[in-house]
Amino acid sequence: MSDGAAAAPRAGTPIGRPLRAWFAAEVFFVVAALLSIGLQPAETEDGWAWPIEPVVMASVFGAFYVAVAPIMLLALLAKRWEMVRVIVPTAILFTSAELLATFLHWDKFSTGTAPFYLWFASYVLPPPIFLATYLWQQRRAAPRRPSDRPLPARLRTLLFVLGGFLSVEAVVAFAYPAWFADDFPWQLTELTTRALCGFLLAVGSLMVAMAIENHRDRVRLASPMLILVLPAVALAVARYSEQVDLSHFRVYLGVGLLGLVAVCGLVLARGSWREWLT
């Protein structure tokens, strides 16, 4: 690697203290979710914001938090705004979707409990904070120039197409939850459908954001989430496979789609992480 290439990741805008502090808060929220629904998906009646049945659904939610955890930690460790910018719009969309699901199904939540307050804080605070810090950081960032390390054309197209498909499907199912709930490998309610759509929207919108950013170094931080979604969800389902119709077409569709997501993540993860974090 040449000296110029090695120095490239260092060029950019420092991450301001408000955003770095909020990344630390996000790490706390994710760790709290992992210690609760991630480790004990069968204990949601007392340990989560609302009781979730069947347990496999809670286990899958825990799997998505497993996939999210690395990018929140990496964002906390990153030095430059340009290296974390790609995840912020996705964070706004994801937390807004979960917050809307909370308001739409308020009566299903265990309001007045510590798990509910933690859930509510983790979704009511991020949208305005992320939006404000995004605008603040962007005003201080250098104008975008044509990418000197663009994504391969086919990979970028796949990110757009696959990410767009997942995003549209998530939005439609959020608006019409019966579309998922009436034909799914396990039992869903309107609340669990909409919560699941929030996670699918996170994956899809992240891929679209990566395609728009179109810079190998600047999208690398998000690649672990793409890599981990399939194995994490697969293990979560395997824990409670007796609750799942494994012959359902959505099982095979999900494996195929998330497999492509993982391939994208593996390709995007290639490169010097050490230089990227400096």
Tens digit of pLDDT at every position of the chain (278 positions) = 333 344 344 568 999 999 999 999 999 999 999 999 999 999 999 999 999 999 999 999 999 999 999 999 999 999 899 999 999 999 999 999 999 999 999 999 999 999 999 999 999 999 999 999 999 999 988 776 666 789 999 999 999 999 999 999 999 999 999 988 889 999 999 999 999 999 999 999 999 999 999 999 999 999 999 999 999 999 999 999 999 999 999 999 999 999 999 999 999 998 777 655 65
Q: In the numeric block, which tokens belong to residue 213?
A: 């950013």
- What DSSP state is assigned to residue 35? I
User: Which helix H or strand E contains 201, and what residues bound it?
Assistant: helix 190-213
Domain ranges in the chain? 8-276
Between the CA of residue 2 and those of 5, 75, 88, 209, what are the distances in Å? 5, 26, 31, 29
The vertex-261 CA angle with 25 and 76, nearest 5°, equals: 20
Note the pTM of the prediction, 2 decimals: 0.92
52 neighbors 196 (Cβ within 8 angstroms): no
> Is the link from the previous residue into 54 a cis peptide, with omega within 30 of 0?
yes
Which pLDDT value is given to residue 2? 38
170 neighbors 195 (Cβ within 8 angstroms): no
The residue among 208, 265, 217 whose CA lies nearest residue 90 is 208
The dihedral of CA 95, 96, 98, 103: what is its sign? positive
